[in-house]
Structure formats: structure tokens, C-alpha cells
């Protein structure tokens, strides 16, 4: 029977694209011999002691709902962790909300703050969900392009130029998915001063902050005048290899957390209790396993970036995250053509840079969250393919 149900779909939902990443991941998953540098997910299994905490909680019969904001014990651990790592303190009782991944918190933050038509600035290329999430919250997304020559760091000047009346929110993500870009402290201070001058709110997605290889990660929330206007988002998916647990959190002034909590309460109720128990264990005892994984990513990054450069695909050094973002324009193909041909002909899956916004044109994202051996084999396959096909 013909499916005519499309006519029932709301216009603002029909208007947003599907994630380009998932499409490539699905192709790679169907090809048995393909090496996937496609999906942004750790190749490590969650450390055993964290899994054990979830198993133990289940054994003890912890199968209930929790407080809407999350277990108080978890919020206390988050408060300690955030204070130590980001040098900004939040009350576990009123200023922290635990949700289903950073994903849910992005949605909650935007829905809690945006009135229809409010504008949101974000740097691009960026995580695929930002612009659609703004549209779903009836806001207007305004991209600030970033460039390889600046290591894909947003410059204060570009931000100032992009600003227009009605801009209420600035979304930041350092280190950045898909480029690994970060901004240095001086530039971040200028950005913070501009945000204060224009009375904007920052949604700061710091999900890759532990995976910073060069220099120290600085949170904009810790800068003068910023705590009162920042929603700091963080989670467990990347650094603790806990994507399937679906736990993330928001730290912000009480009135903002209260607004986000109301939406969360009605649409999600609470994050799963077993995952919250596992998250407590990750924060209490997970640091050494996390540092070991970071060491592996660091080693892989150095290898894969050097190989891309040797292959004539110029690649800046990502200062954090587990993504390399090489320039493939020398192949004479668009990002989409390049990624499509390479997956079919060389059996290496990478995501076209344009999946992360128009300013990703001419690049592909290669996730090095796969084994060192896979990276050797993937870059060898790519080298052979380039030798045959470069125009
Ligand atoms: C920048 C960024 N933010 C948020 C997320 C979503 O994370 P979570 O698994 O916590 O929902 C991702 C996942 O790839 C990401 O790259």
C-alpha cells in the first residue's frame, strides 16, 4: 500500500535533513570488509568497573525512576568533577540536570531559551544536530564559518561580523566535532567579552574536553561574567566510552536549569537509573581508564594526520576530539563524490565534510576512534586509490 502519511508531518520537521553521518555509517555497516572511520564513537568498550556498577545496581534491584534532575549522588559527583576540571562551581541541588546524553540537553537548552524567531549563532563546520535542533525549537540558526588556515577555530572578529539584532544564543563546541578545533584562551576571552556586551547566552558543549591533546582545555563558563549566562553541557559518551548508557548533563544558573527540567520532566521523566549508577562510578574511579584511552587516541591522531599529509591530503593537527578533517580538494571531487567513491572503491568509510555544514566543502571527517592497525590499513587503501584516481 502506498504510504501517504508524509502529508501529516509538521512543516518544520519535514524541512530538516536527515543526518548525513548515519547514511554513511549504514553503507559501511553493510560492507563486511569496509573499515569505518565514519562514526564518532569510541571503539573501546566501557571500562569493566563502570559496567560492573550498572550490573551491581541491577542485582540490587535498582529499577525505579529517579528524581527528575537525576540521582543526587550523581549530581554531587558531577559538581565536584566540574569544579575540578572547569574551575566553576554549581550547586548539586539546583544548578545541575542529568539527562539522556548531551543530545537531550542541547534540545532542552534551546527549547528552554528560545522564543520563536530568536537567533542562534554557531561555528561551522559543527556537530550535525545544532542547526536542526535550533529549527525544531523555532529559532533561526546563523552559521559562522571557520577555516583550515585558523585550525577551524572561530575568531572573535568572525563572530562580531556575524552578529545581528535578535541573536540570543551562541553555541560553542571545543574541541570541535568534526574538526578537532579549539580556541586559545585569549580568543575565548574576547568572545566572552562580546557575549557579555551583547547580553547573549552561551551553550557550551564540552563533550570532548578530556580529549584535549595540545594545551589545557578552558571552559568559557569560568571566565568573568560568564557563569551567569552559560549552559555548560558535558557527558560520558566520549571520554568514558559510554555512548550506549546515554547520560549527559547541564550546569547552569538555577532558573535556567529549572526551565530545562520542566521540559525534561514532561518528555523524558528521568535518565535511566542503571546508567546513572554507572556514571557515578565513572566519576569516582574512571580517571585512569579514561587517560589510557586518551593516550591511544593521541598516538592514533599523530599517525593518521601524518599519513594524510604524506598522501597529499593536507590535514591540520586537531588539538582535541577523535576526528581528523583532511582537505581532499586535490582529488578533484566534491566531498560527497570523494566519500562515496572511496567507500565503494577503497572500502574506507569517511563522512563528507558538507554533512557538517557548507563550510565543510572540500574536506572529509575521518574518526580515529578505531584501532591503530585499522588506521594503517585504511590509509594504505586510500593511498592506493589516490594513486589510481587522482586527476
Ligand atoms: C559535539 C557533540 N555534542 C554532543 C554529542 C552527543 O553526545 P551524547 O552521546 O552525550 O548524546 C556528540 C556526539 O557525537 C557530539 O559530537
Point out the ligand 1 atom lying closest to the alpha carbon of residue 103. 11
Residue 260, exposed/middle/buried by CB under 10 A (0-12, 13-18, 19+)?
buried
What are the φ/ψ torsions at residue 249 (nearest 5 degrees)? -145, 160
Q: What residue's CA is closest to ligand 1, atom 2?
A: 127
DSSP state, residue 240:
T
Report whether 370 contacts 42 (CB < 8 A).
no
Please tell me which residue, 112 or 389, carries the higher pLDDT value. Answer: 112
Residue 38: per-residue pLDDT:
87
Residue in 101, 232, 242 to alter for ligand 1 test, most ligand atoms within 8 A of Cβ: 101
Does the C-beta of 235 come closer than 6 Å to ligand 1?
A: yes
Angle at 152 between CA 150 and CA 153, to 5 degrees: 75
Q: Is 167 left (phi over 0), alpha (psi -120 to 50) or beta?
A: beta
Q: What residue's CA is closest to ligand 1, atom 7?
A: 102
What is the distance in A from the centroid of ligand 1 to the CA of 243?
A: 9
What is the distance in A from the centroid of ligand 1 to the CA of 377?
A: 27
Point out the ligand 1 atom lying closest to the alpha carbon of residue 100. 11
Does the C-beta of 209 come closer than 6 Å to ligand 1?
A: no
Alpha-carbon Rg for the chain in angstroms: 21
Residue in 134, 182, 207, 240 to alter for ligand 1 test, most ligand atoms within 8 A of Cβ: 207
Positive or negative, the CA dihedral 248, 254, 259, 261 is positive
Task: Tell me which residue of 387, 348, 346 sits closest to 364, measured CA to CA.
Answer: 348
Report whether 177 contacts 323 (CB < 8 A).
yes
Residue 25: per-residue pLDDT:
75
Confidence grade of residue 201 (pLDDT, cut at 50, 70, 90): very high
Does the C-beta of 177 come closer than 6 Å to ligand 1?
A: yes
Torsion of CA 68, 46, 283, 109, to 10 degrees: -40
CA 153 from chain center: how many Å?
15
Strands annotated E in 307-363: 323-324, 348-349, 351-352
| Rounded Cα gap, residues 98 and 178, in angstroms | 25
| Rounded Cα gap, residues 320 and 177, in angstroms | 9
Ranges of each domain in the chain:
5-46+288-389, 64-285
What is the distance in A from the centroid of ligand 1 to the CA of 327?
A: 24
Does the C-beta of 323 come closer than 6 Å to ligand 1?
A: no
pLDDT digits (tens, 9 = 90+) for 19-43: 877 777 777 778 889 999 988 999 9
Residue 391: per-residue pLDDT:
62
Strands 119-124 and 96-99: unpaired
Point out the ligand 1 atom lying closest to the alpha carbon of residue 106. 4
Please tell me which residue, 228 or 17, carries the higher pLDDT value. Answer: 228
Positive or negative, the CA dihedral 96, 101, 102, 104 is negative
CATH 3.40.640.10 fits 64-285, yes or no: yes
What are the φ/ψ torsions at residue 203 (nearest 5 degrees)? -105, 110
pTM of the predicted structure, to 2 decimals: 0.96
Does the C-beta of 131 come closer than 6 Å to ligand 1?
A: no
Strands 167-173 and 119-124: parallel
Kindly state the cell numbers that stand for 6.
Answer: 508524509
Write out the CATH class of domain 5-46+288-389.
Answer: alpha beta
Does the C-beta of 173 come closer than 6 Å to ligand 1?
A: yes
pLDDT digits (tens, 9 = 90+) for 169-192: 999 999 999 999 999 999 999 999
Point out the ligand 1 atom lying closest to the alpha carbon of residue 321. 16
pLDDT digits (tens, 9 = 90+) for 65-81: 999 999 999 999 999 99
| Rounded Cα gap, residues 30 and 367, in angstroms | 18
Does the C-beta of 205 come closer than 6 Å to ligand 1?
A: yes
**What mean pLDDT do residues 120-126 have?**
97
Q: Would you say residue 138 has pLDDT above 70?
A: yes
Amino acid at each position: 500500500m502506498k504510504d501517504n502519511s508524509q502529508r501529516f508531518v509538521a512543516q518544520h520537521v519535514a524541512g530538516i535533513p536527515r543526518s548525513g553521518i548515519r547514511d554513511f555509517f549504514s553503507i559501511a555497516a553493510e560492507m563486511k570488509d569496509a573499515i569505518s572511520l565514519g562514526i564518532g564513537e569510541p571503539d573501546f568498550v566501557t571500562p569493566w568497573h563502570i559496567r560492573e556498577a550498572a550490573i551491581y545496581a541491577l542485582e540490587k534491584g535498582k529499577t525505579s525512576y529517579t528524581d527528575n534532575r537525576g540521582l543526587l549522588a550523581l549530581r554531587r559527583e558531577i559538581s565536584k568533577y566540574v569544579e575540578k576540571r572547569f574551575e566553576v562551581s554549581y550547586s548539586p541541588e539546583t544548578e545541575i540536570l542529568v539527562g539522556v546524553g548531551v543530545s537531550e540537553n542541547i534540545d532542552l537548552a534551546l527549547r528552554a531559551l528560545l522564543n520563536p524567531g530568536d537567533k542562534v549563532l554557531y561555528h561551522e563546520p559543527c556537530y550535525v544536530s545544532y542547526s536542526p535542533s535550533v529549527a525544531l525549537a523555532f529559532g533561526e540558526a546563523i552559521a559562522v564559518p571557520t577555516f583550515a588556515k585558523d585550525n577551524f577555530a572561530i575568531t572573535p572578529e568572525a563572530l562580531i561580523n556575524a552578529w545581528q539584532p535578535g541573536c540570543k544564543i551562541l553555541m560553542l563546541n571545543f574541541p570541535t566535532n568534526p574538526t578537532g578545533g579549539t580556541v586559545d584562551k585569549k580568543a575565548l576571552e574576547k568572545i566572552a567579552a562580546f557575549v557579555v556586551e551583547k547580553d547573549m547566552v552561551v551553550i557550551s558543549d564540552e563533550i570532548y574536553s578530556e580529549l584535549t591533546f595540545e594545551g589545557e582545555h578552558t571552559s568559557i563558563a569560568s571566565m568573568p561574567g560568564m557563569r551567569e549566562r552559560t549552559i555548560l553541557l558535558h557527558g560520558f559518551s566520549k571520554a568514558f566510552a559510554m555512548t550506549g548508557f546515554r547520560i549527559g548533563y547541564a550546569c547552569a544558573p538555577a532558573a535556567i536549569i529549572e526551565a530545562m527540567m520542566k521540559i525534561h520532566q514532561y518528555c523524558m521523566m528521568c535518565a535511566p537509573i542503571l546508567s546513572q549508577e554507572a556514571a557515578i562510578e565513572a566519576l569516582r574511579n574512571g580517571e585512569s581508564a579514561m587517560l589510557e584511552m586518551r593516550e591511544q587516541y593521541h598516538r592514533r591522531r599523530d599517525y593518521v594526520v601524518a599519513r594524510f599529509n604524506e598522501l597529499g591530503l593536507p590535514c591540520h593537527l586537531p588539538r582535541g576530539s577523535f576526528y581528523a578533517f583532511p582537505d581532499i580538494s586535490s582529488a578533484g571531487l566534491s566531498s560527497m563524490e570523494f566519500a562515496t567513491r572511496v567507500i565503494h572503491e577503497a572500502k574506507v568509510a569517511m563522512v563528507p565534510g558538507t554533512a557538517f555544514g557548507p563550510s565543510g566543502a572540500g574536506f572529509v571527517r575521518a574518526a580515529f576512534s578505531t584501532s591503530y592497525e585499522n588506521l594503517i590499513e585504511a590509509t594504505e587503501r586510500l593511498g592506493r586509490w589516490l594513486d589510481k584516481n587522482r586527476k
